């Protein structure tokens, strides 16, 4: 059977079927950027490959997926970090006009080229660790032009580098100063002007909101969801990060792809997302960086069989983090996830959190041939080490 590329003498963690889907003596064949075969060498057809690579027992996983980032933004917040070290809280800084709004100011004055240039080193750090798909949100423009510029910059990152970029419109991230005292007015602008324009220009794959005491109310969030639905866009939500606003249950009612953070989610919220098939995306980097003490209710999520994804949340305020491998370690050490849960969280379940479960996230025929090839003896090493990158090679769409 003809194929473009063939990898042999590999150990596979296909992330398909039960557990990690381990194959001890495995082969992967690619044709036209897609997986033609991934499985035991013993069952493989005889391949006639243009290029064949012996892996010498290295492990192959699906390319990793970072399904929640704010990678594109102007400036940084190192100064606020220093204030926090002196005792100020994230919420105090936000209420004093810092926080998301300070990044908004830096983003509004940045050109599209500048946004792309400043995001590239963060993107390259993810790529160097085997990430082949990344989600990138807007949400630091808080007015139409800058929100669109952020999304256009995010899309352009996918042209500049061999990576798939999924974009999310997060207009309802914070209240811009022009609408001080009038959050409903801003939500009307998001729903009636910004979201329709973003949808019409094809700039976003999904819509997200920050449903929080320092963000938007449940009723405001629902208006954003209704507008997203009307424009055929998928739904995600920053839910129950700092308090329980019952956002997860609302998102479930709207068939959200994922609800993200969830430290404060209650059993009713978990039951709702279990019913709707919504992914719980956990962000241990933000938990760590804001020194949150309340853990997401992992056991309840497990018992309800909610698929769990893990992501960096890469953003200048609560997670200046661009290492998906460190997220794996934090998922295990901080949240007590198993190795299997961590690895499924950045592959199969992360794909589902982006609505891409049929296209990426496992090594199965027909899916994109996005691979990470690792110099490791066992998959647990990917979770166990800190600050060490055992990536041997990264393949995106068969190359």
- Which stretches of the chain bind ligand DI6, using CB under 6 A? 99-100, 103, 173, 210, 238, 241, 286, 313, 315-318
Identify which of residues 11 and 238 has a Cβ nearer to ligand DI6 in the complex.
Answer: 238
Q: Is 263 in the site for Fe ion (CB under 5 A)?
A: no
Give, in order, the Cα–Cα distances in Å from 99 to each of 90, 96, 348. Answer: 7, 8, 33
DSSP 274: H
What's the closest the beta carbon of residue 317 comes to ligand DI6, in angstroms? 2
Nearest-CB residue for ligand DI6:
317
Identify which of residues 100 and 272 has a Cβ nearer to ligand DI6 in the complex.
Answer: 100
When CB distances are held under 5 to 8 angstroms depending on the partner's kind, the choice from ligand DI6, Fe ion, none that residue 14 binds is none
Are 237 and 221 within 8 A, CB to CB? yes
What's the closest the beta carbon of residue 220 comes to ligand DI6, in angstroms? 14
Q: Is 66 in the site for Fe ion (CB under 5 A)?
A: no
Following DSSP, what letter does each residue of 18-38 receive, concatenated?
Answer: STT-EEEEEEEEEETTEEEEE
- CB-based burial of residue 387 (10 Å sphere; 0-12 exposed, 13-18 middle, 19+ buried)? exposed
Residue 344: both structure tokens together = 């499924």
Stretch that binds Fe ion, among 54-62, 115-123, 140-148, 312-320 (CB under 5 A): 312-320
CB atoms within 10 A of CB 70: 29
When CB distances are held under 5 to 8 angstroms depending on the partner's kind, the choice from ligand DI6, Fe ion, none that residue 258 binds is none
Stretch that binds Fe ion, among 76-84, 126-134, 270-278, 307-315 (CB under 5 A): 307-315
Count the helix, strand and coil residues of the chain and give each as a percent rounded to the nearest 5.
40, 25, 40
Identify which of residues 288 and 384 has a Cβ nearer to ligand DI6 in the complex.
Answer: 288
Of residues 179, 111, 117, 115, the one with CA closest to residue 143: 179
The β-bridge relationship of strands 234-239 and 391-395 is: unpaired
Are 265 and 236 within 8 A, CB to CB? no
Distance CA 10, CA 327 (A): 25
What's the closest the beta carbon of residue 331 comes to ligand DI6, in angstroms? 16
When CB distances are held under 5 to 8 angstroms depending on the partner's kind, the choice from Fe ion, ligand DI6, none that residue 347 binds is none
What's the closest the beta carbon of residue 318 comes to ligand DI6, in angstroms? 4
Work out the angle at residue 47's Cα, subtended by the Cα atoms of residues 42 and 49, and round it to the nearest 5 degrees: 135
When CB distances are held under 5 to 8 angstroms depending on the partner's kind, the choice from Fe ion, ligand DI6, none that residue 99 binds is ligand DI6
Distance CA 289, CA 299 (A): 23
Stretch that binds Fe ion, among 32-40, 147-155, 174-182, 305-313 (CB under 5 A): 305-313
Identify which of residues 101 and 304 has a Cβ nearer to ligand DI6 in the complex.
Answer: 101
- CB-based burial of residue 266 (10 Å sphere; 0-12 exposed, 13-18 middle, 19+ buried)? middle
- Residues near Fe ion (CB under 5 A), total: 1
Identify which of residues 222 and 313 has a Cβ nearer to ligand DI6 in the complex.
Answer: 313
What's the closest the beta carbon of residue 35 comes to Fe ion, in angstroms? 31
Identify which of residues 38 and 228 has a Cβ nearer to ligand DI6 in the complex.
Answer: 228
What's the closest the beta carbon of residue 174 comes to ligand DI6, in angstroms? 8
What's the closest the beta carbon of residue 242 comes to ligand DI6, in angstroms? 8
Q: Is the dihedral of CA 271, 283, 89, 236 positive or negative?
A: negative
Work out the angle at residue 237's Cα, subtended by the Cα atoms of residues 265 and 302, and round it to the nearest 5 degrees: 40
What's the closest the beta carbon of residue 96 comes to ligand DI6, in angstroms? 13
Residue 201: both structure tokens together = 């220009």
Identify which of residues 142 and 372 has a Cβ nearer to ligand DI6 in the complex.
Answer: 142
What's the closest the beta carbon of residue 318 comes to Fe ion, in angstroms? 7
- CB-based burial of residue 299 (10 Å sphere; 0-12 exposed, 13-18 middle, 19+ buried)? exposed
Q: Tokens 């105090």 correspond to what residue?
A: 92
Q: Is 313 in the site for Fe ion (CB under 5 A)?
A: yes
Identify which of residues 132 and 318 has a Cβ nearer to ligand DI6 in the complex.
Answer: 318
Residue 129: both structure tokens together = 């660790």
When CB distances are held under 5 to 8 angstroms depending on the partner's kind, the choice from ligand DI6, Fe ion, none that residue 241 binds is ligand DI6
When CB distances are held under 5 to 8 angstroms depending on the partner's kind, the choice from Fe ion, ligand DI6, none that residue 316 binds is ligand DI6
The residue ranges that bind Fe ion (CB under 5 A) are: 313
């Amino acid at each position: 059977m003809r194929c473009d590329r063939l990898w042999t003498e590999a150990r596979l963690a296909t992330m398909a079927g039960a557990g990690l889907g381990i194959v001890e003596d495995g082969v992967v064949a690619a044709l036209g950027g897609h997986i033609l075969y991934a499985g035991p060498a013993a069952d493989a057809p005889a391949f006639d490959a243009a290029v064949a690579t012996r892996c010498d027992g290295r492990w192959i996983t699906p390319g990793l997926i970072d399904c929640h980032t704010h990678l594109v933004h102007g400036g940084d917040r190192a100064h606020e970090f220093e204030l926090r070290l002196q005792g100020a809280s994230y919420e105090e800084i936000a209420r004093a006009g810092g926080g998301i709004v300070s990044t908004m100011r830096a983003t509004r004055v940045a050109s599209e080229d500048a946004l792309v240039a400043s995001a590239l080193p963060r993107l390259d750090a993810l790529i160097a660790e085997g990430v082949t798909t990344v989600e990138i949100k807007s949400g630091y423009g808080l007015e139409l032009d800058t929100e669109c510029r952020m999304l256009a910059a995010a899309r352009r990152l996918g042209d500049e580098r061999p990576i798939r970029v999924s974009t999310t419109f997060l207009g309802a991230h914070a209240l811009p100063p022009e609408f001080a005292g009038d959050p409903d007015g801003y939500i009307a602008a998001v729903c009636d002007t910004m979201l329709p324009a973003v949808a019409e220009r094809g700039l976003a794959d999904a819509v997200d909101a920050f449903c929080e005491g320092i963000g938007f109310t449940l009723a405001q969030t629902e208006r954003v969801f209704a507008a997203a639905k009307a424009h055929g866009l998928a739904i995600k939500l920053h839910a129950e990060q700092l308090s329980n606003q019952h956002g997860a249950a609302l998102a479930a009612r709207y068939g959200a792809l994922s609800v993200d953070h969830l430290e404060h989610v209650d059993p009713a919220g978990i039951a709702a997302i279990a019913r709707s098939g919504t992914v719980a995306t956990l962000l241990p980097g933000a938990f760590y960086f804001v020194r949150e003490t309340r853990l997401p209710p992992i056991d309840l999520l497990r018992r309800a069989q909610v698929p769990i994804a893990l992501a960096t949340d890469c953003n200048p305020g609560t997670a200046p983090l661009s290492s998906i491998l460190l997220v794996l370690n934090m998922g295990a050490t901080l949240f007590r996830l198993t190795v299997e849960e961590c690895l499924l969280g950045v592959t199969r379940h992360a794909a589902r959190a982006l609505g891409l479960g049929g296209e990426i996230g496992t090594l199965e025929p027909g899916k994109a041939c996005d691979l990470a090839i690792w110099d490791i003896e066992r998959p647990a090493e990917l979770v166990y080490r800190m600050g060490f990158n055992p990536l041997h090679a990264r393949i995106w769409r068969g190359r």
